Every structure is written in structure tokens, then in C-alpha cells.
Structure 1
């Protein structure tokens, strides 16, 4: 892709947009950047202007979009807002940061997507590769923007990218050497027009692969399995419902993973639950494809500590174990967390409703949850779908929700904070939400 002298518009000046704007300006492009915020709210505004980036802040003006030759959308910027449509009508090319970076970067790419488990699996693959002497660039939706690898290829063996549905939706020629699809369940339906659009965005991870590439996918997920026909890449499956040797498929007995004639004993792993076993199986399959030694791979899985707010043990409170699973931002994630725990569980859920419905939680709530505590914007919708399944409370704040949960918990049981919703009704991120939950819990210590 030609950059020097070309007109680019970068939309959104978060971490990725700032990195893209700076890269393009240093590469000699004519760069304009737009953001809904005022310039005074953007920390890097002065530095970008020094590089020659023209800032258009305080809103997205249509005329700014129609003057660009290439429009680069930051992750999370809806690709169908009216200024973007105007750019397309003016024959501008509209792409995402990953599409731009992949056209400029010479590294082979391993890409990981799914509705749940992306960050854990990407981090785990990166940890394994480093333990086996490889030098991955780790980024995308997790870590650094992919554009930071461009021009620095000599420092790395490959690029390992976590990919969201938003990032994949704005790719067109993106071609990972290894593509991983962990699972599919309804998510982000407050942004995607429907579930089909969301699922098709995920499937794009395989779209441009050839017979020289690898597609690694969850054979136990019926939604994923339905996407695997007519792929050009070599297929490798992982399936937590199978055990023993199965050609071309990683399997598990709950403690040991079997793949390509090797046994990976994962006893002692900090990654608990069936969903994390599936994440581990996917990571082992990728590591094997990339030539990692089985013994080093198994040891790295056992050593790996999952990122915060993902089934993170917080403390014991009045004889009950308390877990922070704030990263659970959809019902399928909360359901997976419940399967990892023995009953009785007091479940705290709620937040901003992503319009996915909560049917995925019905059976795990019925079978595992002794008390359900609901808070946030979605509490009424959740009460309507789940409130008859177990003893249920509505809380007016996270503080109140924790207080109710502690009073309902039983010695030997668990308190699980797994919201099943996004955080944006009350918090700026799931990280802030998780930190606040842990702070409240420690007061009961």
C-alpha cells in the first residue's frame, strides 16, 4: 500500500488512532484525524500537530470525510455512521487499523477471535511462544496496536493479534497464517444490526486464507462448526467433548490435552473451568503448528496466570470464596464461569444491556445459583428472564449488590461477580468495574 503523499483520515483518537496518525505522518502521508472530543481532552493532540497531523475535533464533519482518499477507522467506531457512508459515496476507501497494518507489515500473523476467551488465549499463546524461544509481537485488541510492529519487523518472528468483531468487520484482504475461532454466541447486538452480521464479522478471520494457512476452531461449538465448510485453509479442531487421540483434533479429559500423538498434562494450571480448558487446547494447537516443543508448551500453560477480572479469586468472605469475573460482558461468558464452580453459588450480574437476551443463563442459574443479585441498567430485563429460577434480589448499586450477596452466601459456597453485560451504564470499563468490586469485597475481609 502506498502511504507517502496520500490523503488519510483517521477516525477516533484513542490509543490506536493516535498510533496510526503518528505512523502515517512520519511516513509522509497527508493526515487528518477526527474525534468527537474537543482537542483539550486529547492528551496527545499537541504531539500529533507537531508531526503535521491536522486535527478536526468536537465532532465528525462530513466534508472532512469526503476529502480523504483512505479513511482508517479506530476499533469501536461504527462503520455505518453517516460521515463514513458519505466517504464511501465519495469513493474513499474505508478500512480499519488492522487492514492498514497488515498491508504494510511483513510478519506472518496469528489471529485469535471469538465471543469469549480472546484475551486469555492470546496472552497464553504469547506466553508459550516466548517460553519456547520465539519473539511474538502481541497486540491488536489486546496490547499494542498492530501498526506499532510496522517498521520494527526485525525485532519479532510473528505478529499475534487478538481480533474483535469490530476490527474484523473492517478487514478485506487481511490474511492470517493461523486463524483461531474460539466460540460464537450473541454479543454486541447493541452495535451490530443483528446476530448474523456479528457472526459473519467473526467468520471473516478465515476469508482470505489459502491452503498454506491454518484454521483452528472449536469443534464442540455448533455455531463455529457451521462456519467451517468450504474453508481453503488446513483445519485443526479442538473439542472438549472428546478425549483420547483423534486425528487433526485436540481433545481433553479435563486435565490432559491430547494432540498429534502428544499428551500435555495441565494439572496445576491456574486456568479453571471447561472454557479455559478450551482456551488451553486452542493455544496448544497453535503452539504445535508453530513448532513448539510439547514439554515446554505444557510447562508454560501451567505457569501462565490469567489476566485480571477473569475468574480471579479475590478472598474468602464468611466461608465463601469470592471471584471477580468482571470481564464477563455477555451471557455466554457468565454461563461458562458458572460451570467452573460447584453449587451453591451466589451470582451478582447486571450492567448495560447489550440486547442479546439472557437465555444462555437460564440452565446454569437454575442448576447452580442459590441466590441471584441483579444491578445496573439491565436488572429489570434480567429479572424478567431469570427471576423465577431462583431466589432473586434487585440492588440499587454495586455496593448494595455485594452486601446482599455476602448476606446470602453459605460457608463452602461461592460468590461470583459475573455481570453478563457491559460496564458502560456505571463504569468506564470492565477493569474499573472489577477494581471497584474487589475494593468493596475487601471491606468485608
Structure 2
């Protein structure tokens, strides 16, 4: 990909990645015209620039609100945010006009000073696995940069990367679905039905079929720079139908001493162990790093214990599969907070686990909540054990009233957070706030 000096570019969506890219471009000599295309109000977007000390950028132009998706073929390069649908008419018109449609993440991989790049994707566990790989490599003495979908934009640290450094990126399917360059070493942790309907009007991207979702994930290793794919052995039959030019290593769940809670973390450990072993990190170093590694924030994170009731936050669990695994991780009675925005998931298998494992189910508002409640009742959970809450404060208050010593209060919603929360982090932060009060 070419370097960008004076081209007429547009940033489709002013999220973390494009915000960091915008600042980096102007800092490094970009002298062209940059247009921000975003459905939000211009005053809101200017506040975001101000908060990030980017108000000095006087050559910024705007296409906002009803005009945000118009005439995208006017530009030479489009940098698409992950939440911006690739299939939207504006982007398709631009592609037909031979406009280069890229992203901050693809541009990062194209010009990264280091070729020691690792990308981790999967329906569940990619953030934990990416962080664990980063931790192991640091333990082995390497300088490591961690970023991506985990919440750290790559261009926020780009200028600090040296040739010998290592870069580990957590990558979502939306960051991968149209890339033509990417990480040298790739990991796919697992594959569930996910992102098959739009869950958030501000991030309306979704995959139109499970096949499309799988193909998006697979692009992490379908580019000329790919050297190795480490993938869950449960996906072997699926992968064998594809054409992968890079070396493939299949990993299995691996049980090792660690502070990670949840049996599904054996999968994350297996993936990290397989990759780091290939990179010739000594087994003793890997074991030492894993031993002291605990759950990430909002990923089955222990919050507090009050009156012998323990509170756990897995706001990141936005699929039925991940929530089912959370429930199966505990032997204690569970009071569960669930529900929220709809991602088109099938709740029937989860409902059976809830009916078996959950002492009390508290449902948050959202389009998926009614479907979840219906399936749970069909699975056998008595309606007098199902409660509705209008807010997180009310949900935690109900949980505290219904809990007894020895119980677990678990936030694991199986749904997206859009609605009464800004995002999954806001949902988890509110849970922790009220649990600690």
C-alpha cells in the first residue's frame, strides 16, 4: 500500500482506530484534505477531536448526519471503521469507481516497522489469548506492543515500534473482512455463531451468513505475508476445505496452573502455548507466565465479596455459547444478570443451561430479552425465578435481595450492550460500581 502524503482521504467513522490514525497522519507530514464521515452530529465529533487535542487540524472537512454516507466515490482513499458495513451502497459505489477502500488496521500492517506481527481472532477468548501471548513474550525478554480490538488503537503507539519489537493484535471479524495484508503469525481460537444481525445503530455492521463470518475470520491468514496459522483442532474439518498457503498448527485445550477462572480458558492457554512454542520460547518461561496470569477486566473478572456472596463480571460475554461456559464454570448457586441487544443468536441451548444452573435470572432491557425469557421458561425455569430490571442499579439491587451466603452473582448477558449502556465496558463498569456499593 502506498504512503499517504497528499491524497484526498475520508475516514468512515470517528472511532478509536480512525481517531489515532488521523492524529498520526498529520503528525507525520500529511498535507492533504481529510474528511470525517460520521452519522453523529458535527458538534459531538468536534468535542471528540478537542478531547484528543486534535482541534489544531484546520484542514478537516465534514460529512455528518444525513450526508455521512453520500458521494464516497469523491475520494481517493477511504479508511473504514470496523462498524461501518462494507456492503453499504456508498462503499460499494466507491469500490466500483476504483477508490481504495482500506482501514487503519490494514494500513498499520502494511507499513509496520516490525515484521514480528501476531494477530489473534476468534468468537471468544481472542482478547485473553492475545494478552497472554504478549505476557509470555515479554517474560521471554522481548519488547511487545499489544493493541487492536482490545481497545488500544495501533497508531497510538506506531512511532515507538522498532524493527526487532513484537506486535500482538486482537482482531475482530470486522477488522479482517476485507484486508489484503495482515499479521505474519495468526491465531484463531474458536468459532461460534456471532455478529449475524446488527446489534447497534452506531455500529450496524454484521455478517449476512455464518459462512461470511467464517471467511472474514479466515482472512487473518489468507494474505501474502502470512507465515503461520495456529487454529483450534475443532475447526480442522472446516479448515481442510479451504486453501491456506501458510503453515498450519492445530492446538488443543491445555490445562495448566493459572489464575484464570473458567474451563474455557484451557483453550486460550492451548492457543498461546502452541504459538509461543513455535516461536521457541522455553517451556519453563511459558509456564511461569501462565501461572501468574489472571482474568482480564470484564472477562469473568472477580469484582467483590459481600456477606459471603461473590460478584463476577463477564460483560464481554455477548454470545449464548460464552455465557453457557460461564455458568458451567461455577459449582455454587448462581444469580445471573442477562439480556440486552439482539445479535441474532439461538438461545435454546443456553436456556437449558440457565434452567439447570441458575437460581435466579434477572433480565436487562433489550430486543433479545423477550426471546431469551421465552426460551428459558420453555426450558423449565419457573417464572417466579425470573425478574426484569430497568437499569443495572435495579438489577444488582434485586440480586442482593435474592442472594444468600455462598451464592455467586454473575453478569453474563449473552447479548450485546447497546440500549441503556454505551458499550460492554460501560455495562461492566456499572455492574462493578453497584456491586461494590
TM range (shorter): 0.7 to 0.9
Displacement, 1:239? 1.7
**2:75 paired with 1:68:** yes
Displacement, 1:426? 0.9
Describe the superposition over 1:140-171 as per-residue Cα deviations: whole angstroms up to 9, x where unpaired: 11243223454543275122111011100131
Of 12, 37, 61, the residue aligned with 1:55 is: 61
**2:122 paired with 1:129:** no
> Distance between the aligned counterparts of 2:95 and 2:108, measured in 1?
21
Displacement, 1:326? 1.2
Secondary structure of residue in 1 paired with 2:37: strand
Number of residue pairs the alignment of both structures matches: 415
Asked if structure 2 preserves the Cα contact closer than 8 Å seen for 1:112 and 1:179, the reply is: yes
Displacement, 1:126? 1.0
Secondary structure of residue in 1 paired with 2:141: coil
Asked if structure 2 preserves the Cα contact closer than 8 Å seen for 1:105 and 1:149, the reply is: no
Aligned to 1:426: 420
**2:432 paired with 1:438:** yes
Of 174, 196, 219, the residue aligned with 2:233 is: 219
Residue pairs, 1:232-381, within 5 angstroms? 232-240=245-253, 252=254, 254=255, 256=256, 266=257, 269-377=258-366, 378-381=368-371
> Distance between the aligned counterparts of 2:134 and 2:376, measured in 1?
38
Structure 2 CA distance for partners of 1:307 and 1:155, relative to 1, 3 Å: farther
Aligned to 2:88: 81
Displacement, 1:227? 2.5
Asked if structure 1 preserves the Cα contact closer than 8 Å seen for 2:17 and 2:105, the reply is: no
Displacement, 1:21? 2.0
Secondary structure of residue in 2 paired with 1:434: helix
Aligned to 1:11: 12
Displacement, 1:27? 3.7
Unmatched segments (≥5 aa) in structure 2: 198-205
Displacement, 1:20? 1.7
> Distance between the aligned counterparts of 1:305 and 1:431, measured in 2?
18
> Distance between the aligned counterparts of 2:16 and 2:161, measured in 1?
21
Displacement, 1:136? 1.7
Asked if structure 2 preserves the Cα contact closer than 8 Å seen for 1:270 and 1:302, the reply is: yes
Aligned to 1:41: 44
> Distance between the aligned counterparts of 2:389 and 2:310, measured in 1?
23
Displacement, 1:383? 0.9
Displacement, 1:361? 0.8
Secondary structure of residue in 2 paired with 1:403: helix
> Distance between the aligned counterparts of 2:224 and 2:426, measured in 1?
38
Of 389, 396, 405, the residue aligned with 1:411 is: 405
Describe the superposition over 1:244-288 as per-residue Cα deviations: whole angstroms up to 9, x where unpaired: xxxxxxxx3x3x3xxxxxxxxx2xx21112211211121122221
> Distance between the aligned counterparts of 1:329 and 1:184, measured in 2?
14
State the TM-score, normalizing by the size of structure 2: 0.87
Asked if structure 1 preserves the Cα contact closer than 8 Å seen for 2:113 and 2:162, the reply is: no
Asked if structure 1 preserves the Cα contact closer than 8 Å seen for 2:335 and 2:409, the reply is: yes
Displacement, 1:359? 2.7
> Distance between the aligned counterparts of 2:412 and 2:6, measured in 1?
49
Aligned to 1:111: 119
Displacement, 1:379? 2.0
Displacement, 1:107? 1.8
Describe the superposition over 1:373-405 as per-residue Cα deviations: whole angstroms up to 9, x where unpaired: 222112211111112332341313233333333
Displacement, 1:182? 0.6
> Distance between the aligned counterparts of 1:316 and 1:387, measured in 2?
30
Asked if structure 1 preserves the Cα contact closer than 8 Å seen for 2:13 and 2:81, the reply is: yes
Q: Which runs of 4+ in 1 moved over 6 A?
A: none
Aligned to 2:193: 186
> Distance between the aligned counterparts of 2:74 and 2:60, measured in 1?
13
Unmatched segments (≥5 aa) in structure 1: 241-251, 257-265
Structure 2 CA distance for partners of 1:271 and 1:68, relative to 1, 3 Å: same
My pick for the range that moved more, 55-64 or 79-88, is: 55-64
